[in-house]
Structure 1
Amino acid sequence: MADIPSHHMIYGNLDDFITGETLVDTDDERYRQKLARLLVEERGFAKGEVEMRRRIETLFAHQFVVSKIDIVVRLEGRRVMVVRYGPGSLVTRERPAIAAARVLEESQLIPLAVVSNGEDGELLDTRTGKVLGTGLGAIPTRESLVTMLPSLDFTPVPPERREPELRILNAFDIEVCCAGGPCALPGAKEG
């Protein structure tokens, strides 16, 4: 185990299932990798259709925040689904996941969002915020997403809605650990 102060248990390193990149091996990262494997091995997506570790940076009220979008799924040249992991309650993860899907791309809304704690999940309609399904089984297969594509709404949020959504991300994703400071390890590819 690394000798770096952190509240994350560090087991060493692991290779990212999608990119092959070496990452810090934590319980959280193991769940992210589990979700990536689920998308490829059980839901039928190609590794090339799965993007890992996207970020949105915000600065409001002197608070700089990096919001992490763990996984983005792309089909037919469009981003169709974001997946955000976080331990604990899913309900508290819904609103920032929706905000991220609304603003990650200026040119389009990402119509579906998944929140998961690695053991459970919810599929959300990004436009309405409605829960479309619960459990990891609610994560659509590639085949079902291809079928849904014509009915999905990719219309970007109006320009006047971008800042409020970014503010929501900033407020929900500010990360302060038990020691009173940011939790990320210096220089580590830990999310």
Structure 2
Amino acid sequence: MSIYIPLGKIPSSPQERKELLAQQVEMDEYLSHIGLTQVQRRVVDFLISHKGYSNEDIEVNREFKIDLLDASFNARADIALKIEGKIFCIIKCVMNSLESWERHSIAFGRVVESYQIPYAIITDSENARVLDVVEGKLISEGLDSIPSRTDARKFINEKAFSPYSKEKAEREKRILYAFDAIGCSTNLD
């Protein structure tokens, strides 16, 4: 009995089939070894198989140290997409209520790096909300609206990554701190 393994396309030769199978096995091993939630696992698989990202473009559970005037804490990106050494997008993986994480994601993208991370996405692996961090607004919905790696590369080459206003940064950090204090779990068990 044979097992069906989705390859993303029909191979044109036995050699290409072998290469596609090797890539699929490598991706499965990668996903099983990095300790992801179910939502993260599905999103990483989608990014690699449908949006053209590679394992090297994806950072999972990336920690950022946030310093306030009176405290410091770590904020975590469920998934960070890096292109040419810069984080292009952060992804928050949740089980439901995508809208309730919009403010958190915008604040996160504005202050965790020395520049504003241009995009934030909130997803439950079936739905997605894509946010423009700089403008602070929703720009699209749906998994298909997540930028491909090709689109991300174009953006990186065309746009400057600008810092967020230092005068306003403390407020954004406090928003992150409040979400951190709530400590909502995003694990699907």
Higher radius of gyration, 1 or 2 = 2
Q: Take 2:138 and 2:80, find their aligned partners in 1: how far apart are those partners? A: 18
Q: Which runs of 5+ in 2 are unaligned?
A: 1-27
Work out whether residues 96 and 168 of structure 1, in 8 Å CA contact, stay in contact via their aligned partners in 2: yes
Equivalent residue for 1:92, pick from 100, 107, 111: 100
| Counterpart position of 2:44 | 36
Shift of residue 71 of structure 1?
A: 0.7
Work out whether residues 122 and 128 of structure 2, in 8 Å CA contact, stay in contact via their aligned partners in 1: yes
Give me the identity figure in percent: 26
Shift of residue 55 of structure 1?
A: 2.3
| Counterpart position of 2:16 | none
Q: Take 1:33 and 1:66, find their aligned partners in 2: how far apart are those partners? A: 22
Q: Which has the higher strand share?
A: 1
Work out whether residues 58 and 167 of structure 1, in 8 Å CA contact, stay in contact via their aligned partners in 2: no
Work out whether residues 52 and 71 of structure 1, in 8 Å CA contact, stay in contact via their aligned partners in 2: yes
Q: Which runs of 5+ in 1 are unaligned?
A: 1-13, 178-182, 185-189
Q: Give the total of aligned pairs.
A: 160
Q: Take 2:132 and 2:183, find their aligned partners in 1: how far apart are those partners? A: 29
Equivalent residue for 1:68, pick from 76, 97, 112: 76
Shift of residue 172 of structure 1?
A: 2.4
Q: Which has the higher helix share?
A: 2
What is the Cα-based RMSD across aligned positions, in Å?
2.9
Counting only pairs closer than 5 Å after superposition, residues 19-168 of structure 1 correspond to structure 2 as 20-21=33-34, 23=35, 29-57=37-65, 66-106=74-114, 108-168=115-175
Shift of residue 115 of structure 1?
A: 0.7
Q: Which stretches of structure 1, 4 residues or more, deviate above 6 A after TM superposition? A: 59-64
* TM-score for the superposition, normalised by structure 2: 0.73
Note the alpha carbon deviations across 1:25-82, whole angstroms, 9 max, x for none: 7xxx011111111111110011101111112455879987643210111112211100
